Amino acid sequence: MGEAPEQKQGPEESGAAAGDGAKGGSTVQLRVQSADNLTTFLRMPDPEGEPESAAGAEESPVVDPRLAIRDDRVSDSETGDGPPAEAASPAAAAAEVEPASAERAPVDPVAPRSAVAAEPAALPEPEPEPEPEPEPESEPAPAAAPVPSFDLGPSLEREPSLDRTPSLDRTPEFAREPVLVGALAPAAPAGPPATPPAPEPPPVLFPENTHEAIEALAQLSARPPSKVRRAAKRALTWSLLLALLVGVLVAAQLLRPLPGPRVRLTAADSFTFGGQPAVLPLPAKGQAAVEAVGLGSMGSSGPETPVPIASVTKVMNAYLILKAHPLRKGESGPTLTVDKAAAQESGDADQSTAKVVEGQQISEYEALEMLMLPSANNIARLLARWDSGSEDAFVKRMNEQAAAFGMTHTSYADPAGYNAGTKSTAKDQLKLAEQVMQDEIFRQIVAEPSALIAGTKISNTNYLLSGNHGVIGTKTGSSSPAGSCLMWAAVKDVGGAQQLLLGVTLGQQPGGGDDLLRAAQSVSLRVITAAQGAVAGQTLAKQGEVVGHLDDGLGGQVPLVAAKDLTVPGIAGTRVQLSLQQAGPIGHSAAAGTQVGTLVAGSGPNQVEVPVTVQRDLAPPSILSRLTRLG
C-alpha cells in the first residue's frame, strides 16, 4: 500500500488537521518534539471521523503510533487544505503545548491513519523548513522547552459524542516505543487561541553538545570571584605557605648537629694565701737563697757577688751530659772507657776522686753516680772529654748554658770546680737547680745515699739524705777558697702532694763542731725546716662538692663535683689559680659518676689536680629544647 502524502499544518490548524486526516472512530497519534529532542506521544480519538465498516477495519493496515505534530510555524501551503484554526477541536488544541519559537526544531506533520505503513518503518525524512512568516499582530513569546508528556494508558480520548464510537488502539505492544510520561496541556477554549504563558524550562539533564556545556562552565568559572572568596583564597594560600615554612624550620632544627657539651667552672677561680711572710734563719755570712717551686721566693741573704762554688760546679756538668745523652729510668746509657788521665788522677789525695783503672768500662749512669755522690773530679774531667773531645770545649758549653739560664753572675773555668776561677752566686745557682731537678734521672741519682760500682761502694757526701728531713738532694762542695757550699732540695707533703723546696748556701765556714764539709749542711738544715713550716695547705674543694656544671649547649646543665679533696700548698701571699679542664669529647648522655674533667690548681711541678664527675645522669636534649634552640 502506498504512503499518504505528508500533511503540514500551521499553529492554528493543528487540531483541525488532526480531525481531517483520520476516519471516524479512529485514534490520532501525536508526537511532540521539543527543542532538546525529547519526544512525547499522545493518542486521542477523532471526534469527526466516520465509523468504519467491519470490512474496512479488517482491511486497514497496522497504524504506526508515531504520528508527529510539527512546529506551529508551518504555513498552510505546507499542510494542504486543512480547516481553519477555528475548526480545531479542543483535543487538538490541547496537543499544542508550546508557543512558537524561532529556535525550536521543526515538528513532523500529522499523517493520516491510512497512510501509515503496515509494519514499523523509519519515518520519512522531514522536508527543509521554510523561513517563518513574521506575525503581524504581536511579538512571539520567548522560546521555552516543552513540558514532556507521558503515556497515561492505551489511549487518551476526548469525551465521545453520542454518534461517535471510540475505537481501540490496535497498535501491538511490541511496536510501541518507550515514552516519557508527562502532563497534558489543558484544552484551549473555542475561539481564537490566546498566547499561552511561557512555561518554566526544565533542567537540561543531557546537553546535546558537550562542548557547549564545557564552555558554559568555563564562563561560570571565569567570573571574577567575590571579595569573600578572594580573602578566603589568600588566607588559604598564606596558611599553606606558613605551614610549609614551619615544617621546614622544624626539620632544620631537628636535623641540626647538636653542640658538644662543655664544662664550666662555678667555684672560685683563684685563692690567695694569707698571713705574714715567713722569716727563715738565713746565714749572716756567705750567701743563701730559698725558693718554693711554683710558689715563689722565700728569701735570700748575702751580697750578689760571684764567689767560688767548689764542687757545686758538677751540677752543670751533669746537666749537660744528660742533655746531650739523655737516659730513661732503668737505662744505663752508653759505655765509657777510662783513659790514662782519669786513672792517674784517681790517686790524687788533694782532691776528691773515684778509684778507676785505665781501660775500665763504665756506663754513663755509673759515671754520673761517681760524679755526684763522692764528687769525683777525675770522672768530671773524663765525662767532659767523652762528650766534647776536650775539657776546654766542654767548659765553653757550660758557660753558654749558664748564659741561656740567665745566670749573669756565673763563669765556669773547669768542669769540676777545682779551679778557684769557677764562680757564681746563690741566686744564679738556684736558677740552675730549678732546671736540673726537672730531670728524672738526675733526681734519682742525687737522692741515692750510696751506690755499688764494680764491686766498690761509694757514698753520698750529702749527709742530710740519711735523716728524716725531707731532703732529696742535691750537691755538696767544699774548698779553702769556696768554704762550705751546698745546693739542696727538700719537699713538704701537703694534702697528698709534695711541695718542692730548693736552696743554695755558699761561703760557710766550719764551726760548732762541724768540719768544712758539714758546715753548710748544718746551716741549710735549719733553713729547710723553717721553709717547710712556712708552707701551708689549703683545701679548695672537698670530695662531692659542686665545682662546676656541664652545659649541653641547649640550656641543659648537670652539676659537676670533685671526686676527692683538692688541697694545694702555699705560702703567705701566694695566689693559686684554679681551672676546670675537659677530659676530651663528651657525649650527650652520661651516667652519674662519669669523669668528664679535671680540676687543676697551680702550675709547674707543684700543680695539683683531682678528677671531676657528673653528679647525676646526663640526659640527651629534649625535642622542645632542640626546636627552641637559637644559637
Question: Residues comprising the binding site?
Answer: 475
Which one of the listed residues 155, 301, 375, 484 is annotated catalytic? 375
Alpha helices in 389-425 (DSSP H): 391-404
Phi, psi for 492 (deg, rounded to 5) = -125, 125
Which three cell numbers mark 299?
728569701
d(CA 621, CA 609): 30
Active site residue 300: no
Cα separations in angstroms, 376 against 13, 351, 414: 161, 8, 14
Which three cell numbers mark 41?
506521544
Which one of the listed residues 14, 311, 388, 424 is annotated catalytic? 311
Parallel/antiparallel/unpaired status of strands 68-69 and 27-33? parallel
d(CA 492, CA 500): 7
Alpha helices in 283-376 (DSSP H): 314-324, 340-345, 364-372
Phi, psi for 599 (deg, rounded to 5) = -95, 120
Compute the half-sphere exposure of residue 3: CA atoms within 13 Å on the CB side of its CA: 16
Alpha helices in 21-156 (DSSP H): 54-59, 76-79, 90-94
Which three cell numbers mark 278?
715567713
Q: Tell me which amino acid residue 213 is.
A: A
Q: CA triplet 359, 311, 504: central angle to 5 degrees?
A: 145
d(CA 567, CA 560): 18
Which candidate, 314, 320, 284, 44, places its Cα nearest to that of 185?
44
d(CA 451, CA 517): 20
Which three cell numbers mark 281?
734563719
Return the H-helix or E-strand segment holding 249.
helix 227-255
Query: Using an 8 Å Cβ cutoff, are 72 and 11 in contact?
Result: yes
Say whether 4 sits in a helix, a strand or coil: coil
d(CA 80, CA 16): 12
Per residue, the 3-state secondary structure of 480-497, as one string, reads CCCEEEEEEEEEEEECCE
Active site residue 311: yes
**Residue linked to cell 476526548:** 158
Helix, strand, coil % over all residues of the chain, rounded to 5:
30, 20, 50
Active site residue 352: no
Which one of the listed residues 8, 314, 427, 431 is annotated catalytic? 314
- Residues annotated within the binding site for substrate are 475
Say whether 627 sits in a helix, a strand or coil: helix
Which three cell numbers mark 138?
504581536
ω before 474 within 30° of 0 (cis)? yes
Query: Using an 8 Å Cβ cutoff, are 617 and 592 in contact?
Result: yes
Instruction: Please give the positions annotated as active site.
Output: 311, 314, 375
